[in-house]
Structure 1
Amino acid sequence: MPELLSDEEIRRRLPDGWERDGDEIVREYGFDDYLEGVAFAGEAGEIAQEEFHHPEMVIRYKEIEVRFTTHDAGGITERDLNLSEAFDELFEDEFGGGA
């Protein structure tokens, strides 16, 4: 089972644009239109499936909210930070940083 990260380590390593919300990390990605956001969610979902670590994703009109936590560990672990960075890379590389 993955180890929980300390509050200090989470603060120090949390990528730009991400915030802590209790036992989760969260970010909203902005897009030019609805279908671009849906495309991002689909590609991000493929990344998550490859890692077998599945975030909560909420699709809105021009934004996608992503929440990571490691349920079996009871909070934020290395896996959450790694995938948050992978999602950020996808957003920058494939979607030009969005709206």
Structure 2
Amino acid sequence: MKLELLNESAIQQQVTALPGWQVEGTELVKEFRFTSYLAGIEFVRRVAVLAEEMNHHPDLIVGWRKVTVRLSTHSAGGLTRLDFALAGQISAAEAPPSNLN
């Protein structure tokens, strides 16, 4: 099933509900910052699990104490509801699990 691209109005409405996320061209982007490099790596692991579950895989750029997430539905040529659904789940995964203190 092919996902439909969202129009500009729908994109703006969706991005407003996702603090820190912004639209750059045909991508939804957010930079996450961490207190250590390994905390960022653990976040990437959690994002990878979510991506596999949704079968929707973001581009991840790992740096020192930061991870940039870039979402786009490449098969549709831009942003779809799937990008915003995954962005919401990624934002929820930002906080480290309590057993990683």
Q: Which residue of 2 aligns with 1:35?
A: 38
Q: Counterparts in 2 of 1:53-64, with a 5 A limit?
A: 53-64=56-67
**What secondary structure is seen at the aligned counterpart in 1 of 2:53?**
helix
Tell me how many residue pairs correspond in the alignment. Answer: 95
Cα deviation, 1:23-81, whole Å, max 9, x if unaligned, reads 00000001001000000001111110111100000000010000000011000000000
1:12-31 matches, within 5 Å, as 12-14=13-15, 15-31=18-34
**Distance (whole Å) between structure 1 residues aligned to residue 38 and residue 27 of structure 2:** 26
Query: Is residue 2:93 matched to residue 1:90?
Result: yes
> Which residue number corresponds to residue 76 of structure 2?
73
Whose radius of gyration is greater, 1 or 2?
2
Distance in 2 separating the partners of 1:49 and 1:58: 17
Question: What's the TM-score once normalised by structure 1's chain length?
Answer: 0.92
Segments of 4+ moved more than 2 angstroms? none
Q: In the alignment, is the contact (CA less than 8 A) between 1:40 and 1:95 conserved in 2?
A: no
How high is the sequence identity, in percent, across the aligned residues?
Answer: 32
One-letter identity of the residue aligned with 2:49:
E
- Secondary structure (helix, strand or coil) at the match of 1:10 reads helix
Kept after mapping to 2: 8 A contact 1:70/1:79: yes
